[in-house]
A and B are shown apart, each in its own frame.
Chain A
Amino acid sequence: MRSARALLSLNLVIAASLNAQPEPPRQENRSVVVASKPFGESFLLCEMFAQLLESRGLSVERRPGLGATEIAFGALRSGAIDVYPEYTGTGLIAILHDSLPDSVMADSRAVFAHVTKRFAEQFQVRWLPPLGFQNTYAIAVKRATATKYHLRTLSDLARESPHLTAGFTADFIGRSDGLIGLSRVYGLRPRAVRPLAPAVKYQALVSGAVDVIDGYSTDGLLARYDLVTLVDDRHFFPPYEAAALVTDRLQAQIPTAIATLTLLSGRLDERAMRQLNRRVEVNGEDVRVVAGDELKTLGLVGDVQAAKTTVVRERSGFGRYMWDRRANLMGLMLRHLLLVALALLAAILVAVPLGLFLERTRPLAEPTIGALGVLQTIPSIALLAFMIPLLGVGITPALVALWLYALYPIARGTYTGVRDADPEAVSAAEALGTTPVQRLLWVRLPLAAPVIMAGIRTAAVITVGAATLAAFIGAGGLGEPIVAGLALADTRMILSGALPAAALALAVDGVLALVEKMVAPAHRREGIWRRLGSGPLDAVQGRTAG
């Protein structure tokens, strides 16, 4: 009885203290957008953030595998996402481009304090307290190579580098905390540098295609292949402490989310992280299961029923793998198709009238179409990255980028088709008293239809392909398993997106080929298509037959 009263009074005190706050923080009723960069550990941390937030009753939108640092951080700055895992060293060098005295560089606390201050001032972005582990670059060689050349440190590597071929990720080659800095500080001059996708660098090293790679110190594969990580004897690499990067906006709108994410601070050490990465990258376990298990182990969530349903995937046939994911793949395929259809439709609505307009104003035609052509030369991933500051992440920027790609072939086809449509027929139609609109609808467009359709088909196939990259900015579609598969070095996952995408391209092209047959000018139609829409005057067969 006493204790019950004590509890009651305690409750009252808590209630009173809550009421006493001048203004209780207002929670906005929206999802927290949780993202990651496209590699295994980032996926895993993203999933842990997401499950943790969900366990506290918050709704979450997942955007895993967003481009590289530039895209992910761009998305965060623009407010398109709320949180993603980042590393202090990356923040310091790749984002801020700051250099610090060596004494500060060596102190991970000092580096953390520096980036925290600078990010808050410059970007209105906060670093939550570090998760508890560092994931630095691990410049790795095979044990045999290390023995042969007596390699233990990066200085040793620099000495022997003229005999060695490096396989580095594109990111590492271009970063000042990557190859550029290593060359400057250690004098590293490999015989050749091969740019490698993260997913294949370990295979490339083990197979002997390259002699040295840039791994991450927490990679599960370092241990699996018994590789030697060379010691950074000149302390070139800054500390790379992992932490959640969040926007001030999230802090203002959903403070609970910040509080919840902070629960993970200091809870993950390097050994634990390596173990988790190994489960995902080497054993091929589902990211959701691994993340859920770890949160349970840490006592941060209770038994999650959902996590139980997906067990460790069996090493079964590819057909089985696809079949098991059929519902998910169908959803991705529909989303992909939706992206393509919307982008293509919008492109047709703009590019066909544009082509017609340019045909009337010939001097503008080549410069305008040329400008659209230049857009084609921008790599899709770069174009998608440009969209982020303007439109954030998700479906809108993807649609705009795909739309831009589709404009050129359609505008070119329309312009050329209408310009070159049987000039004799057009001039005769004019001389006989047709209006410009009648000539357009009766003569020029029907005669130009095959060329216009060819442009639309080209655009459609390009769009189906480019849409796989839309996953890098969180637009979903069949690129999702491709991006995730690349990050997790999972070939089956990559193929489960790539093969349906290829099939989709063929199917879309096939369907449009039928449409092309249907819209061909009547005299060029064959077989059953001949009967289609040849005009009211052709209904007089009976009257002339006699």
Chain B
Amino acid sequence: MPTPLAARNVSHSFGSVIALDDVSIDVPAGRSVALVGESGSGKTTLLRCFNRLVEPVRGEVMVGDRDVRTQSTVLLRREIGYVQQHGGLLPHWRVLRNVALVPMLQEMPDPTDAALHALGLVGLPASNFAHRFPHELSGGQRQRVALARSIAAKPGVILLDEPFGALDAISRADLQESFSAMRRDLSVTTLLVTHDLAEAGRLADEVVVMRAGRVEQKGTMRTLISAPATEYVARLIERARAGLEALSL
């Protein structure tokens, strides 16, 4: 069952640095939303509020119909899939065991089956990969394993923090394709952090542009392009387009 997410009037600061300034967003159940912005825009901080890796100073964070603060962090996190930029696979565990981690934590009846199934969904045949160690995989394969690990326990929501940010362009395109396919097979809510507007357009139903801890604009990619709300958004789109045009020359 996909789980909706919501943040209401969330503010947070690290010391004197304001990371989030009265931010509100909604991710309806089963939809995919991308948080886009530069480094320091607060996008990762906002993402991490949902699994309580960050406890905001003010505001309300909801996963499903419950405020995250009413749940134990450990149990909350087991209900939420998570992928980080550098995968974070446990290097001393083989692929299968890595993927089975959350099913095991949740004491599912057969974590191995769940893991094998997830490997299939991300396009890694278990017969070839289940028994490898992470260092025996390519960067793209490792991110696929991380993706498999995040969905193995069939969570209602997954959080992705620059999941493909460290990959070369080709692996990246491959993975974006697999991710889209996987989303069609699963019904899961996703919240994605990326600095790449094109990636956001490809993977998300809706885009939230953030800047200096505030929401600059939210809407579909189409809206952003046709009616940028601020000069910053317009510049962002302009720059992404220039990149694409340079390619087509």
26 residue pairs from A and B, CB less than 8 Å apart: A422-B90, A424-B87, A427-B88, A428-B84, A428-B88, A428-B90, A429-B90, A430-B53, A431-B77, A432-B82, A433-B73, A433-B78, A433-B102, A442-B90, A522-B133, A534-B94, A535-B94, A537-B100, A537-B111, A537-B115, A540-B96, A544-B96, A544-B116, A544-B130, A544-B131, A545-B127
Does B149 have its Cβ within 8 Å of any Cβ on chain A? Answer: yes
Partner of B134, one of A442, A523, A541: A523
**How far does the Cβ of B94 sit from chain A's closest Cβ, in whole Å?**
6
Are the CB atoms of B88 and A425 closer together than 8 Å? Answer: yes
**How far does the Cβ of B70 sit from chain A's closest Cβ, in whole Å?**
16
**How far does the Cβ of A190 sit from chain B's closest Cβ, in whole Å?**
64
Q: Using a CB-CB cutoff of 8 Å, which residues 413-443 of chain A contact chain B?
A: 422, 424-425, 427-435, 438, 442-443
- Alpha-carbon distance A522/B133, docked complex (angstroms): 9
Count of chain A residues near B, Cβ 8 A:
31
Are the CB atoms of B74 and A435 closer together than 8 Å? Answer: yes
Does B75 have its Cβ within 8 Å of any Cβ on chain A? Answer: yes
* Chain B residues within 8 Å of A, Cβ to Cβ: 51, 53, 73-79, 82, 84, 86-94, 96-97, 100-102, 104-105, 111-112, 115-116, 126-127, 130-131, 133-135, 146, 149-150
Residues from chain B with Cβ under 8 Å of A521 in the complex? 91-92
Partner of B88, one of A424, A447, A523, A545: A424
- Alpha-carbon distance A434/B51, docked complex (angstroms): 13
Would A522 and B87 be within 8 Å (CB), given that A432-B82, A541-B131, A543-B112 are in contact? no
Does A500 have its Cβ within 8 Å of any Cβ on chain B? Answer: no
Main secondary structure of the interface of A (DSSP, over half): helix
Does A446 have its Cβ within 8 Å of any Cβ on chain B? Answer: yes
Residues from chain A with Cβ under 8 Å of B78 in the complex? 432-433
Does A538 have its Cβ within 8 Å of any Cβ on chain B? Answer: yes
Residues from chain B with Cβ under 8 Å of A438 in the complex? 105
Does A325 have its Cβ within 8 Å of any Cβ on chain B? Answer: no
Q: Using a CB-CB cutoff of 8 Å, which residues 505-530 of chain A contact chain B?
A: 521-524
- 3 closest A-B pairs by beta carbon, nearest first, are A428-B88, A433-B78, A521-B92
Residues from chain A with Cβ under 8 Å of B92 in the complex? 446-447, 521-524
Partner of B130, one of A442, A447, A540: A540
Residues from chain B with Cβ under 8 Å of A434 in the complex? 74, 101, 105
Are the CB atoms of A425 and B112 closer together than 8 Å? Answer: no
Are the CB atoms of A544 and B89 closer together than 8 Å? Answer: no
Closest to B159 in A: A431
Residue from A424, A429, A537 with most neighbouring chain B CB atoms (10 Å) = A537
- Alpha-carbon distance A545/B128, docked complex (angstroms): 8
Give A392-428 as 1s and 0s: 1 = Cβ < 8 Å from B's Cβ atoms.
0000000000000000000000000000001011011
- Alpha-carbon distance A435/B135, docked complex (angstroms): 25
- Alpha-carbon distance A141/B86, docked complex (angstroms): 76
Known interface pairs A422-B90, A434-B105, A541-B131; 18 further A-B residue pairs with C-beta atoms within 8 A, sorted by A's residue number? A422-B91, A424-B84, A428-B87, A431-B77, A431-B84, A433-B74, A433-B102, A447-B91, A523-B133, A523-B135, A535-B93, A535-B94, A537-B94, A538-B94, A538-B97, A538-B131, A543-B116, A544-B131
- Alpha-carbon distance A433/B79, docked complex (angstroms): 8
Would A522 and B94 be within 8 Å (CB), given that A433-B102, A435-B74, A537-B100 are in contact? yes
Residues from chain B with Cβ under 8 Å of A535 in the complex? 93-94, 97
Does A57 have its Cβ within 8 Å of any Cβ on chain B? Answer: no
- Alpha-carbon distance A524/B53, docked complex (angstroms): 30
**How far does the Cβ of A490 sit from chain B's closest Cβ, in whole Å?**
53
- Alpha-carbon distance A436/B101, docked complex (angstroms): 15
Does A319 have its Cβ within 8 Å of any Cβ on chain B? Answer: no
Closest to A524 in B: B92
Residues from chain A with Cβ under 8 Å of B131 in the complex? 538, 541, 544
Does A101 have its Cβ within 8 Å of any Cβ on chain B? Answer: no
Residues from chain A with Cβ under 8 Å of B51 in the complex? 431
Does A546 have its Cβ within 8 Å of any Cβ on chain B? Answer: yes
Residues from chain A with Cβ under 8 Å of B73 in the complex? 433
- Alpha-carbon distance A422/B133, docked complex (angstroms): 15
- Alpha-carbon distance A546/B82, docked complex (angstroms): 30
**How far does the Cβ of B67 sit from chain A's closest Cβ, in whole Å?**
18
- Alpha-carbon distance A521/B92, docked complex (angstroms): 5
Closest to B86 in A: A424
Partner of B89, one of A428, A433, A522: A428
Closest to B97 in A: A537
- Alpha-carbon distance A432/B146, docked complex (angstroms): 11
**How far does the Cβ of B134 sit from chain A's closest Cβ, in whole Å?**
7
- Alpha-carbon distance A524/B104, docked complex (angstroms): 24
**How far does the Cβ of A409 sit from chain B's closest Cβ, in whole Å?**
23
Are the CB atoms of B77 and A432 closer together than 8 Å? Answer: yes
- Alpha-carbon distance A443/B116, docked complex (angstroms): 22
**How far does the Cβ of A268 sit from chain B's closest Cβ, in whole Å?**
70
Residues from chain A with Cβ under 8 Å of B149 in the complex? 432
- Alpha-carbon distance A535/B96, docked complex (angstroms): 11
**How far does the Cβ of B158 sit from chain A's closest Cβ, in whole Å?**
11
**How far does the Cβ of B102 sit from chain A's closest Cβ, in whole Å?**
6
- Alpha-carbon distance A538/B135, docked complex (angstroms): 17
Are the CB atoms of B77 and A546 closer together than 8 Å? Answer: no
- Alpha-carbon distance A82/B204, docked complex (angstroms): 87
- Alpha-carbon distance A431/B53, docked complex (angstroms): 7
**How far does the Cβ of B148 sit from chain A's closest Cβ, in whole Å?**
12
**How far does the Cβ of A530 sit from chain B's closest Cβ, in whole Å?**
10
Residue from A425, A433, A534, A538 with most neighbouring chain B CB atoms (10 Å) = A433
**How far does the Cβ of B56 sit from chain A's closest Cβ, in whole Å?**
17
- Alpha-carbon distance A425/B84, docked complex (angstroms): 10
- Alpha-carbon distance A363/B91, docked complex (angstroms): 29
Residues from chain A with Cβ under 8 Å of B86 in the complex? 424
- Alpha-carbon distance A134/B93, docked complex (angstroms): 75
- Alpha-carbon distance A536/B111, docked complex (angstroms): 11
Are the CB atoms of A433 and B75 closer together than 8 Å? Answer: yes
**How far does the Cβ of B39 sit from chain A's closest Cβ, in whole Å?**
18
